[in-house]
Chains A and B, each alone.
Chain A
């Protein structure tokens, strides 16, 4: 292993909470008048009414050059703070960070976009904000336009863009920044599926062919697994694990299991959520065929789900996506509320409950339900992964009480299938054998 691209030594970050941190002049004056002595003694820093919060505490990390490293951890673990320190948005309170190379960030794409300016103007403005020189932008201009796919809208003000186009353009600019170290956060929660794939592809390309170092924060465990060479687990500002992605992800999943009683999961407000906000998933309930909540179903048994949401802002044309993931965090199937035009959802503010029955023959094993509420444009409003864990038992649902017939369970889903023997196929098989 060569020199790390990023070396973090004993880094801590403290935030001041409380009134004085960002108070107005009058509050500052009031405090000076009330506590004149404290001011004079120069101990104003240790105000008792101000509480401190350590977002990061004694973090030591070496990030290998040319590799993709995933940062995972629950909300408030310090992931974003760490990225902010790395791209120098904020300074550490203690410690030292060494960066070997230029740092580019995708903490939130489209920062500095101005709605009145055209796509072309915003490419230059945003490129300069991200740290590109004018010549660099000119050199990569056509690549950026091509990658974003905005083509004919290049000279249209971006306020007329769809949100998808906006995000694509923003990502395209950031992705073409020539930096040795790329920091990415949450980008993948936006944009359509195809564009997400494109982004992931770009990230892999950047790291493998470009030899660049990527530090990646995402809540989607399957993309972390797929993309990252190693992972870092943070919690309460400390590094809990660093190393092999699968091991660290498994470690993390073990810690974040939601509060679950039987087949009912109540999703806490501070659960690991992603999406643009405006609604919250509160409750997921799984029932077996008898109608009672249960976290155990037989194989072949339909899954009856009830989803409780709190809608904070009207959502016309919404849709809900329910996914089933394996214990390893791999999504194996997804059902969409508008599949086959079955449900038009115009959600008004307030509490709503949705029911859905999934008929899939899941093989014995452990699974989890992922829920994603989407707005009319297909953006995630609220997405929670692994809301509820359940087990498919090794007992068939058809009443026979049979067990799963094979000694090893391969795969997760049994498809409906038709098998037959083809008559007189001898010559074709022989032809294939000869090659």
Chain B
């Protein structure tokens, strides 16, 4: 479908439809040929979000700032968590940096996992490779992230912590968060078509996830014996890595390997599962 439909003789493009069998990987070339659709779907998500909300883009910025304020007040000032001795970073800035990347991850995961069911109308009426839907859903949160990222950099500068050269590694860490969210989201998105329970479970799991990730507290707070188990959470490495990029805290080292492995495994298996589940979508949704 690269060329105009009329440029190629019809006989060249005979398409055969047969009952699907077994497992397979999504047809990447076909998905790539639908890149315009991915772009317009993502654009729709972004445009609609900013058009509908009265405060528009403000909310995206307000959310992490308010959360960081509240958490530093309750857990920091009142409950006595302080990241400063361990990391040399003031607690509010420490929390804000963690929140920004966590909120990006959780928004992406939630959007991707809801995306297929939300596109029910499209799926039951029109054919296109279904994987386009979660892909588009994963893109829109990047726009929110870009905005909040600028804000968090400004806040860091205001606190007297201008970012160092490590900031150049930010895209890599963000890519890790994105791929992890996308891979997990693919599984959940496909499962959600069959079991709507997923919509109810995801926000809960994300809430728990926020507390088992070092956002409000430093890693040292976790008992030594539990550290290996704790580190299995791929977002531990991502959040630590993001702080390293932004605030120059300790480089998380091996902790970063976990999200690398987890995101690749989730994305590959998620793609396989999505591809297998996709053929039934129109009949079940």
Contacts and interface: CB of A to CB of B under 8 A. Distances in A.
15 contacts: A24-B196, A89-B126, A90-B283, A95-B19, A96-B17, A99-B15, A100-B15, A102-B13, A111-B125, A111-B126, A112-B126, A116-B51, A125-B43, A128-B37, A133-B1
A117 interface: yes
Contacts of A121: 44, 47
Given A5-B10, A26-B197, A128-B40, 12 more contacts: A86-B17, A88-B127, A89-B124, A95-B18, A100-B15, A103-B15, A111-B126, A114-B48, A121-B47, A125-B41, A125-B44, A133-B36
Contacts of B5: 101-102, 178-180
Interface centre among B14, B36, B121, B282 (most CB of A within 10 A): B36
Contacts of A90: 279, 282-283
Interface in A57-107: 65, 84-103, 105, 107
B69 to A, nearest CB: 31
A117 B17 contact: no
B122 interface: yes
A57 B230 CA distance: 55
B6 interface: yes
A134 interface: yes
A101 B34 CA distance: 17
Is the contact region of chain B dominated by helix, strand, or loop, or is it mixed? helix
A22 B39 CA distance: 31
B207 interface: no
Contacts of B124: 89
A111 B121 contact: yes
B11 interface: yes
A22 B128 CA distance: 22
A22 B284 contact: yes
Contact of B10 (A22, A24, A100, A111): A100
B126 A117 contact: no
Given A24-B197, A116-B48, A87 B126 contact: yes
Contact of A97 (B16, B34, B51, B196): B16
A404 interface: no
B13 A96 contact: no
A25 to B, nearest CB: 4
Is the contact region of chain A dominated by helix, strand, or loop, or is it mixed? loop
A44 to B, nearest CB: 14
Given A24-B197, A28-B195, A84-B282, A108 B125 contact: yes
Interface centre among B52, B121, B128, B283 (most CB of A within 10 A): B283
Given A3-B11, A112-B122, A131-B128, A96 B36 contact: no
Contacts of B186: none
Interface in B1-43: 1, 4-6, 10-11, 13-20, 34, 36-37, 39-41, 43
Given A28-B195, A98-B15, A15 B126 contact: no
Interface of B: 1, 4-6, 10-11, 13-20, 34, 36-37, 39-41, 43-44, 47-48, 51-52, 121-128, 194-197, 279, 282-284
B125 A89 contact: yes
B47 A129 contact: no
Given A89-B282, A95-B19, A128-B37, A105 B10 contact: no
Interface residues of A, number: 53
A231 B126 CA distance: 24
Interface string A1-19: 0010100000000011000
B4 to A, nearest CB: 7
Interface string A178-209: 11100000000000000000000000000000
Contact of A96 (B11, B16, B48, B123): B16
A62 to B, nearest CB: 14
A116 B4 CA distance: 31
A99 B124 CA distance: 20
A65 to B, nearest CB: 8
Contacts of A26: 197
Given A24-B197, A90-B282, A180-B5, A129 B16 contact: no
A128 to B, nearest CB: 4
Contacts of B15: 98-100, 103
